[in-house]
Structure 1
Amino acid sequence: MSGAFSGVDWTVLVVYFTATMALGFAFARRGGSSEGFTTGDRSLPGWVCGLSIFATYLSSISYLALPGKSFADNWNPFVFSLAIPLATLIAVTWFVPYYRASTEVSAYAALERRFGLWARIYVSLFYLLTQVARMGVVMYLMALPMQMLLGWDMATLILVTGVSVTIYSFVGGIAAVIWADAIQAIVLSAGAVACLAAMLWAIPGGPGTVMEVAAAGDKFSLGSWSLTEWGAPTVWVILLYGLVINLQNFGVDQSYVQRYIAADSDAAAKRSLWLGGLLYVPMSALFFFIGTTLFAYYQTRPETLTEVRAIVAEQRNAVAAPGGEPVVAADLTDADVGDRVFPYYIVTQMPAGLRGLLVAAVFAAAMSTVSTSLNSSATLILEDYYKRFLAPEAGDAAAVRVLRGATVAWGALGTGMALLLIRLTDSALDVWWMLASVFSGGIVGLFLLGMASRTNSAGAAVAVLCGLPAVAWMALSPTPLWPAALDDFRCTLHPNLTAVVGTVVILAVGFLAGIPPFGRRPEPLLPQTEAPG
């Protein structure tokens, strides 16, 4: 393989890595109190929080998996991004003002006041599970280019990254995480733009060739527009999935809520969400176009794609169960190698210096997301469990110890999840979307039920008890775990609709439970607010 790391590449990578770690220690004093660790003393500029939201969203899932999907198929997953503006508008209008007015750091304290303790614990538990899955997928994707570049063991790369990001999250708290995210957002954006420019320059005919090859392969298609194919990833399936998941992200996700709280004013908090949310739409389009450009590049150089298939076959055979059939490179499809084509291009074709910048960008994308997940998970462990059940009057020193202990624990769980994914053979984006659908567990549905219905605690509990079996049915029935005797009852809906169905079931049952004589008129979960400013 050509394109070994040069001294310039190592310099770029080491400088970036050292600066990121130093930033964590620079905020050590602010992270020494529980308020500083979880909210940054509510004093951070809106633009910094906005870049942090953007960087958190733009993880290595976006950096590597989106190009892999458009390389192997088309732009169908881009429909997910098109749902972001509507979700952002809803969150800015109703959710941000509430969280800014609340004295609680936990996003889920409101659910306890509205429906009882069970609702708070239910949502926070599913959130914590989601973060373990997210960190695992992000660190796994980060390790792919580094393995191709350095030849290191995947497990070693994941362990080094997991330990490093846990350290600076442990020391500096949310302020270190947000400021590091802002810097990482610039690094990863610059890296992506520079990479696309270099790729277009390397292809004979440049953008014209890319457009011609992509059009011939129908690469710009958003997918089917059918209103009857609910078992396929049609435009409508992905749009519904995107609306629910993005509303969950911007409206009820602890990671984002802490950024609204950390902003220095209400107006800054609203601007931060608009900035972070809307920046992602064109940037995701950029990554899809990188994948399309890679398709055109490999069409003109089929021998390099053969090398990628050989590498993937070797990796899969290395982790295969003893006695199994060996993977043959010639049998692999574009979908099998999709997540690897961009890392392979980076490490073999990029010039010295730029190659180091791009690898640093992949690190930036992973570290920003993992650090965010660590801080928000630690915050919930403190607020929703330790203070709620064990020590309601805990002092600040004890709270900081819990926060740092939880950071280490969740760092270990996320790293363990990444190690399990080393055997992954499917698209990382597909795996993440499936896990996100299942672990969301109808969270958005419960929040919306509290906002818009008259349902009391018992009615909401019945709604959740109906929603969870629907989620389990959609998740398990397509798998071998489903009993053969129940084959006639297997779900035929697309897996991305799991979160949508869970939300709809909870809302429908909950609204019915709110009809007199069962319902009452409790205080609304979120107050009426003025239009977004």
Structure 2
Amino acid sequence: MHWLNWLIVVVYLVWVVGDGLRRSRDTHNLDGYFLASRSLPWWAVGLSVMATQLSAVTMIGTTGQGATDGMRFVQFYFGLPLAMVILGVTLVPFLHRAKVYTAYEYLERRFDARTRSLTAFLFLVSRGMSCGTIIAAPAVVFSAIFGWPLGWSVALMGIPTVIYTVLGGVQAVTWADVKQMVLIVVAVLAIFVVLVARIPVPTGDALAIAGAAGRMRVFDFSLNLTDTYTVWSGIVGGTFLMLSYFGTDQSQVQRYLTARSVDEARSSLLMSAYWKIPLQALILLVGVLVFVFYQFQTPPLLYNPAHERRARAAQPAEFQALESRYATALADRQVAARAFAAARQAGDGAESPAAAALRERESAVTAVRGEALQLAERVTGEPSRDVNYIIPRFVLDQLPLGLAGLFVAGVMAAAMSSIAAELNSLATSTVIDFYRRWVRPEGEDAHFLNVSKLATAAWGVFACIVATYAVSLGSLIEVVNRFGSFFYGSILGVFLLAMIPQARALGAFVGLIAGMSAVAAVNFGAPSVSFLWHNVIGAVTVVVVGVLLGVVVPARRPAA
């Protein structure tokens, strides 16, 4: 990468880290370190809430998802506005007024200590794995840029971020998130403009080409539990997922607990309700335009450069033959794309012979790439899905000088902010819900802060280990949500039980175990069921079991 790109990366990261640490104050006590003394403005909290989601996973995984699968992923977020409204009138005011450090403290007040601990434990496992996926996203970039082993790339991002998180409290994390959001939006818009300028057909024709290839389909009204991206899975399953993520996940709850008032906490969440779907659609559209761009330019046969090198070295004759067939298929596809654009200009519709020819040529290209991916898998012994390498390769090979540095800085800043936020919430729950609750109930704040820093480092190591495996699981944006959906529904069910008067401690604890068991049974016994429905299954199971036990088993009478 050119030295100017590196200069942009270094200057931005120094500014983010330096300004974040400068803004750290009141971190000598737990309230300041974990909650910024509940003093942050709503707009900063709102941007931090969005930034925690719009991590490097979004910059890499979502754009890659758009390039390979199109716009339908946006349906995943259709339940978000409804979830934010519900949370704004239920959990947000309640938890903010309860003056808790974690959402799980309330569960002990409502039920008992074992329900609190089990729920917090499930959060720690799910968020720890998700944090590993977030680290994996920038590791993909560095692996693609330098050809380094993935483990070294993970360490490059993970170790500095752990150090930064240990030194700074939640206030430093929040202000870094604000800068991250600005940079992400600027980087995405810049790439969008470059793509529109470099695609050699009008934008309308470019979108029509994407549509003919099935990339512009947004709405799918089919009621199919095996399809992840439909209107119904987004509205129903997505609402349950978003309710759990924003209402019960400590990484999000901790964000709005730092707000100055209940009204400001509500406003911070509504910012996501207004802007998340349009921003996500823009990011997906960038991926779609990358797909269209490669209709007229030669894309790599394998986007993962490490797999490309190993496959070429191990099977040179077979790889060369695939490259030859790939070049022919690409040339045919380019002719078909130009013919489709010309036919559209002449007034032909989406079902014209030119559109059918384009789809046929696209299928031929996909078939050759599929053979290449199988070859890479045989040679490397690793899963060969390379969706997470599409955008890094495009950025490095095609973006003008300076914009590549802007993108890499955006990925690194996004990763550092999101990882820092995740690690901070993991340390908070570890110390408050376990160490202070079960190991040392009394102590000076200085002692608990030292334990928090050790917990941060430990979770950082765990996340780095997970990161080395997450890349091979497919689209990172899907991986992080699959991890979360395995746990989130059951956790949400416990909080829903807390608002039902008939619910008792036994019902909450047994219901939580039943919910996790039901999700595990569906996940491993019926893997074709979309992960979004796991949230519904877990929440409903917990509530049903908890309410039934609350009715059947009488409440304990207080001792005389």
Contact 1:126-1:441 within 8 A present in 2 as well: no
Task: Structure 1 unaligned segments of length 5 or more: list them.
Answer: 478-489, 523-533
The corresponding residue for 1:314 is: 308
The corresponding residue for 1:510 is: 546
The corresponding residue for 1:496 is: 532
- Distance in 2 (alpha carbons) for counterparts of 1:49 and 1:36: 15
Equivalent runs, 1:389-404 vs 2, <5 Å:
389-404=438-453
Kindly provide the amino acid, as one letter, of the partner of residue 171 in structure 1: L
Give how far 1:316 is off: 7.5
Contact 2:489-2:536 within 8 A present in 1 as well: no
Question: 1:361 and 2:357 equivalent?
Answer: no
Alpha-carbon spacing, 1:453–1:237, altered in 2? closer, same or farther (3 Å): farther
The corresponding residue for 1:262 is: 258
SS in 1 for 2:71: coil
Question: 1:48 and 2:44 equivalent?
Answer: yes
Alpha-carbon spacing, 1:309–1:373, altered in 2? closer, same or farther (3 Å): closer
- Distance in 2 (alpha carbons) for counterparts of 1:235 and 1:316: 41
Contact 2:503-2:546 within 8 A present in 1 as well: yes
Kindly provide the amino acid, as one letter, of the partner of residue 307 in structure 2: A
Task: Structure 2 unaligned segments of length 5 or more: list them.
Answer: 324-368, 375-383
The corresponding residue for 2:516 is: 468
- Distance in 2 (alpha carbons) for counterparts of 1:387 and 1:336: 43
Give how far 1:52 is off: 0.7
Greater CA deviation, 260-269 or 84-93? 260-269
Kindly provide the amino acid, as one letter, of the partner of residue 338 in structure 1: V
**Matching residue within 446, 449, 462 for 2:494:** 446
Give how far 1:30 is off: 2.9
- Distance in 1 (alpha carbons) for counterparts of 2:282 and 2:539: 31
Kindly provide the amino acid, as one letter, of the partner of residue 209 in structure 1: D
Kindly provide the amino acid, as one letter, of the partner of residue 314 in structure 1: E
Alpha-carbon spacing, 1:387–1:453, altered in 2? closer, same or farther (3 Å): same
Equivalent runs, 1:476-487 vs 2, <5 Å:
476-477=524-525
Q: Deviations over 1:88-132 (max 9, x none)?
A: 111111111112211221111111111111111111111111121
Q: Deviations over 1:351-390 (max 9, x none)?
A: 1111111111111221121111111111111110111012
The corresponding residue for 1:412 is: 461
- Distance in 2 (alpha carbons) for counterparts of 1:204 and 1:427: 29
Report the number of matched residues.
497
Q: Deviations over 1:450-474 (max 9, x none)?
A: 1134111112223223222211112
Give how far 1:280 is off: 1.7
- Distance in 1 (alpha carbons) for counterparts of 2:195 and 2:30: 46
Give how far 1:517 is off: 6.6
Alpha-carbon spacing, 1:122–1:14, altered in 2? closer, same or farther (3 Å): same
Question: 1:381 and 2:430 equivalent?
Answer: yes
Equivalent runs, 1:25-424 vs 2, <5 Å:
25-222=21-218, 224-227=220-223, 229-233=224-228, 234-301=230-297, 303-306=298-301, 308-309=302-303, 311=305, 313-314=307-308, 330=369, 331-332=371-372, 336-422=385-471, 424=472
Give how far 1:419 is off: 1.9
Alpha-carbon spacing, 1:521–1:347, altered in 2? closer, same or farther (3 Å): farther
Kindly provide the amino acid, as one letter, of the partner of residue 412 in structure 1: V
**Identity percentage of aligned residues:** 31
Contact 2:487-2:516 within 8 A present in 1 as well: no
Contact 1:80-1:243 within 8 A present in 2 as well: no
Contact 2:147-2:306 within 8 A present in 1 as well: no
RMSD of Structure 2 on Structure 1 (CA): 2.6
The corresponding residue for 1:529 is: none
- Distance in 2 (alpha carbons) for counterparts of 1:415 and 1:317: 27
- Distance in 1 (alpha carbons) for counterparts of 2:425 and 2:58: 21
Greater CA deviation, 333-342 or 236-245? 333-342
- Distance in 2 (alpha carbons) for counterparts of 1:316 and 1:441: 42
Contact 2:490-2:539 within 8 A present in 1 as well: yes
- Distance in 2 (alpha carbons) for counterparts of 1:100 and 1:430: 31
- Distance in 2 (alpha carbons) for counterparts of 1:517 and 1:385: 29
Contact 2:523-2:529 within 8 A present in 1 as well: no
Computing the radius of gyration from Cα coordinates, the structure with the larger value is 2
- Distance in 1 (alpha carbons) for counterparts of 2:56 and 2:557: 45
